[in-house]
Amino acid sequence: MFVKFARSWSLVKASAGVLRQDKELLVFPAISVVASLLVMASFILPLFGLLDFKAMEQGEREPMWLYAWVFLFYLAQYFVIFYFNTALVGAAMIRLQGGDPTVADGLNIAWSKRGTIFGYALIAATVGMILRAIEERAGMIGKWVAGLLGAAWTVVTFMTVPILVSRDIGPVDAVKESALLLKKTWGENLIGQGGVGIVFGLLQFLVIALMVVALIAVAATKSVALIVTVVAIGVFAMMALALIQAALSGIYSAALYRHAMGEETLGMDRALLDAAFAVKR
Contact between 230 and 215 under an 8 Å Cβ cutoff? The reply is yes
Region 1-19: what's the mean pLDDT?
66
Q: What is the DSSP letter of 174?
A: H
Nearest to 246 by CA among 172, 164, 161: 161
Point out the least confidently predicted range of 62-66, 108-112, 213-217, 232-236: 62-66
| pLDDT tens digits for range 222-280 | 788 888 898 899 999 998 888 988 898 888 888 878 877 877 666 666 665 655 554 44
pLDDT given for residue 143 in this prediction: 83
pLDDT given for residue 115 in this prediction: 95
| pLDDT tens digits for range 23-56 | 899 999 999 999 999 999 999 888 877 665 565 5
Mean predicted lDDT score pLDDT of the chain: 83
Dihedral pair phi/psi, residue 88, rounded to 5°: -65, -50
Q: Count of H helices and E strands in the chain?
A: 13, 0
Residues 6 or more apart in contact with residue 225 via CB below 8 angstroms: none
Contact between 88 and 28 under an 8 Å Cβ cutoff? The reply is yes
Q: Does residue 7 have a pLDDT over 80?
A: no
% residues pLDDT > 90 (the chain):
36
Point out the least confidently predicted range of 152-166, 185-199, 222-236: 185-199
pLDDT given for residue 38 in this prediction: 95
Rg from Cα positions in the chain: 21
H or E, element range at 26: none
Nearest to 24 by CA among 96, 78, 86, 100: 100
Nearest to 118 by CA among 77, 152, 159: 77
In 3-state terms, what secondary structure has residue 76? helix
Instruction: Check residues 74 and 201 and name the one with the higher pLDDT.
Output: 74
Contact between 124 and 82 under an 8 Å Cβ cutoff? The reply is yes
Q: In the chain, what's the furthest Cα-to-Cα distance?
A: 63
| pLDDT tens digits for range 79-107 | 999 999 999 999 999 988 888 899 999 99
Q: Does residue 171 have a pLDDT over 80?
A: yes
pLDDT given for residue 142 in this prediction: 80
Rounded distance between C-alpha atoms, residue 81 and residue 4, angstroms: 30
In 3-state terms, what secondary structure has residue 186? coil
Would you place residue 11 in the very low, low, confident or very high pLDDT band (cuts 50, 70, 90)?
low
Would you place residue 209 in the very low, low, confident or very high pLDDT band (cuts 50, 70, 90)?
very high
pLDDT given for residue 58 in this prediction: 59
